[in-house]
Amino acid sequence: MDTPLRVAVIVGSTRDGRFGPTVASWIRGHLDRRADMTADVIDLVETPLPTVFPVLGDPPQSQEAVEQLSAVSPRLAAADAFVIVTPEYNRSFPASLKNAIDWHNREWNAKPVGFVAYGGFSAGLRAVEQLRLVMAELHAVTMRDAVGLQAPWAQIGSDGTSPGGDAVAKAMLDQLAWWGQALREARTARPYGA
What is the C-alpha separation between 119 and 150, in angstroms, rounded? 5
Which listed residue (63, 90, 158, 188) binds ligand FMN by CB under 6 A? 90
Contact assessment for residue 33 and residue 107, using Cβ atoms and an 8 Å cutoff: no
3-31: string of b/e by CB count within 10 Å (b at 16+)?
ebbbbbbbbbbbeeebbbeebbbbbbbbb
CB of 48 to ligand FMN, least distance (A): 15
Q: Is 95 a binder of ligand FMN (CB under 6 A)?
A: no
Q: Which is nearer to ligand FMN, 63 or 90 (CB)?
A: 90
Q: Is 89 a binder of ligand FMN (CB under 6 A)?
A: yes
Q: Is 53 a binder of ligand FMN (CB under 6 A)?
A: no
What is the C-alpha separation between 182 and 111, in angstroms, rounded? 9
23: nearest Cα among 131, 125, 116, 128: 116
Which of these segments, 17-25, 26-34, 97-105, 186-194, binds ligand FMN (CB under 6 A)?
Answer: 17-25
Which of these segments, 45-53, 64-72, 82-90, 166-174, binds ligand FMN (CB under 6 A)?
Answer: 82-90
Q: Which is nearer to ligand FMN, 93 or 179 (CB)?
A: 93
Q: Is 91 a binder of ligand FMN (CB under 6 A)?
A: yes
Give, for 98, the enclosing helix (H) or strand (E): helix 95-102
Q: Give the ranges where 33-72 is alpha helix by DSSP (H).
A: 63-70
Q: Which is nearer to ligand FMN, 60 or 165 (CB)?
A: 165
Q: Is 154 a binder of ligand FMN (CB under 6 A)?
A: no
Which listed residue (43, 80, 88, 107) binds ligand FMN by CB under 6 A? 88
How many residues at the interface with ligand FMN, by CB under 6 A?
15
User: In 10 A of CB 55, how many CB atoms?
Assistant: 7
CB of 140 to ligand FMN, least distance (A): 22
User: In 10 A of CB 118, how many CB atoms?
Assistant: 28
Per CB under 6 A, residues contacting ligand FMN are 13, 15, 18-20, 87-91, 118-122
